[in-house]
Amino acid sequence: MERKIRVLVVDDSAVVRNMMTDILSAQPDIEVTGAAADPYFAIDKMRGNWPDVITLDVEMPRMDGLTFLRKIMKSRPTPVVICSSLTEKGAETTLEALSAGAVAIFTKPKLGVKDFLQSSAPELVDAVRAAARSRVKTINVQNTQHKPLLPERSAMIKTTETVVAIGTSTGGTLALEKILTTLPVTAPGIVIVQHMPEKFTAAFAKRLDSICAIEVREAVDGDRVRPGLALVAPGGKHMTLTRSGAFYYVAVKSGPAVNRHCPSVDVLFRSAAHCAGKNAVGIILTGMGDDGARGLQEMLESGAETFGQDEASCVVYGMPKEAVKRGAVQHVIGLGDVAGVIMRYV
């Protein structure tokens, strides 16, 4: 029998602590080792009984969650699920937390928290399980074992513009940051699905845009896909690729979750297979679950070239693993190779 996932709940709300403890303790593979009202109490509980996963509120008295997270990552890197309010301010802080090493997000409202937690229990459990499977020490590009792939002259000859479609989930925010900050303005057009709640994607795209040479923004229905631009699917909406004449555009629409996600990687990849075919490139990165595996297979069957991130450089080797199992991945590459691969299609 496998050892249970040991979880420490850190939140200044007694209601939240009790609800989360009850939800997690009800799972046969999870054990809540303690609950703390702030980081100082958490430190006391962690001595001699270090958890496998920490669920961490952002706004707390005495020490905020972001400061505590940075201390943890500096002294003893541990998978952390950030529990953040679904607000624009909360989104910006949460993105800082992801950049500092948190591996997953669980959002909660300011009001009606008890009812929300009861209805969102599966998402909380999934976030904790994903965190438990993550590798918080392997998020650095320098840790990959691959040498960068050099551009091939023949690969740069294309009759029409190439569209690069990227799908990712847990661990993807840092992976995308490492990829996109490396790309020059001559990079081909990129469309991205990163599993992330509503409001968070806009802040995420804005942050990337401020540190990248290319333009990065949250997609709007009708945006043209063009070189030097990366479009991020909005949280809570699906994004598909469309074509009009020689140009590619995105359609952003509301719709039911696919593979429990909205936006869904499968939705984007399938649209790329349909309207771009051999002029598309599919890349599936770190993440839990199997979203994107079927869509990537359809891209491959339509003539697109497909890539999957290797296990060694993934925070969670779930989505790429499922795509490899389906035979949808032509090339397995390290995170440090992705930017070089993209630039082969200029």
User: Which tokens go with 194?
Assistant: 């990163």
For residues 219 and 298, give the distance between their C-alpha atoms in angstroms, rounded to a whole number. Answer: 23
pLDDT at 33 over 60: yes
* Among 133, 162, 193, residue at a domain's last position: 133
Residues 154 and 83 both lie in one domain: no
Q: Kindly state whether residues 170 and 298 are assigned to the same domain.
A: yes
- Is the pLDDT at 246 greater than 60? The verdict is yes
87-91 mean pLDDT: 66
The 10s digit of each residue's pLDDT in 94-114 is 888 888 889 988 888 777 878
| Beta bridge pairs of residue 252 | 239
Is the pLDDT at 340 greater than 90? The verdict is yes
Considering the domain architecture, whether residues 212 and 325 belong to the same structural domain is answered as yes
Q: Which of 195, 223, 261, 264 is catalytic?
A: 195
**Closest alpha carbon to 126 in 243, 220, 217, 257:** 257
Q: What is the mean pLDDT of residues 35-51?
A: 92
Model confidence at 164, pLDDT cuts 50, 70, 90, reads very high
pLDDT single digits (tens) 66-82: 899 999 999 899 999 99
Return the amino acid letter for 33: T
270 — pLDDT class (breaks 50, 70, 90)? very high
Q: Name, in order, each residue with C-beta under 8 angstroms of 210's C-beta and a sequence gap of 6 or more.
A: none
* DSSP-assigned letter for residue 156: G
Clarify whether residues 192 and 164 are in a common domain. yes
The Cβ of residue 255 has, within 10 Å, a number of other Cβ atoms equal to 13
For residue 316, pLDDT over 80 is answered with yes
Of the listed 84, 134, 169, 271, which one is catalytic?
A: 169
Residue 146 among the catalytic residues: no
- Of 117 and 155, more confident: 117
Co-location of 148 and 260 in the same domain: yes
- According to the model, what pLDDT value does residue 139 have? 45
Active site (annotated) includes residue 195: yes
**Burial bucket for residue 306 (CB in 10 Å: 0-12, 13-18, 19+):** buried
User: Is the pLDDT higher at 97 or at 155?
Assistant: 97
Quote the pLDDT of residue 137: 60
Q: For tokens 């909380």, name the residue.
A: 124
C-alpha count within 13 angstroms, C-beta hemisphere, residue 303:
8
Kindly state whether residues 167 and 297 are assigned to the same domain.
yes
Does residue 128 carry a pLDDT above 60? yes
CATH number of the domain to which 27 belongs:
3.40.50.2300
In angstroms, the CA 191 to CA 159 distance is 20
Residue, of 112 and 213, whose pLDDT is higher: 213
Place of tokens 């430190």: 43
- Whether residue 291 lies in the annotated active site: yes
Which of the four pLDDT bands, split at 50, 70 and 90, describes residue 58?
Answer: confident
pLDDT reported for residue 141: 40
Ranking 87-96, 123-132, 172-181, 230-239 by mean pLDDT, the lowest is 87-96
User: CATH code at 224?
Assistant: 3.40.50.180
Q: Which of 136, 84, 80 is nearest to 109 (CA)?
A: 84
Could you give the C-alpha distances from 95 to 100, 155, 203, 315, in angstroms and in order?
9, 35, 8, 16
Q: What is the predicted pLDDT for the residue at 191?
A: 98
**129 and 149: one domain?**
no
Quote the number of domains for the chain: 2
How confident is the model at residue 318, as a pLDDT? 95
Domain end, chosen from 133, 154, 174, is at 133
Contact criterion met (CB below 8 Å) for 195 and 166: no
Domain match, 158 and 257 both: yes
Q: What is the pLDDT of residue 86?
A: 59
- Quick check: 45 and 36 in contact, CB under 8 A? yes
- The pLDDT value recorded for residue 83 is 87
- Which pLDDT band, with edges at 50, 70 and 90, does 93 fall under? confident
Task: Supply the pLDDT for residue 138.
Answer: 43
pLDDT at 155: 36
30-36 and 5-10 as β-strands: parallel, antiparallel, unpaired? parallel
pLDDT score of 185 more than 70: yes
For the entire predicted model, the pTM comes to: 0.86
Q: pLDDT band at 150, cuts 50/70/90? A: very low
Same domain, 294 and 330: yes
Residue 215 domain boundaries: 141-343
Mean pLDDT of 77-96: 81
3-class DSSP state of 124: helix
Q: What is the mean pLDDT of the chain?
A: 89
The percentage of the chain sitting over the pLDDT mark of 70, rounded to a whole number, equals 91
| Mean pLDDT computed over 295-302 | 98
Domain stop point among 71, 103, 133 = 133
Written as one letter, the residue type at 136 is V
CA dihedral 137, 140, 143, 149 (to 10 degrees): 150
* Predicted confidence band of residue 149 (pLDDT cuts 50, 70, 90): very low
Which one of 52, 291, 310, 337 is the catalytic residue?
291
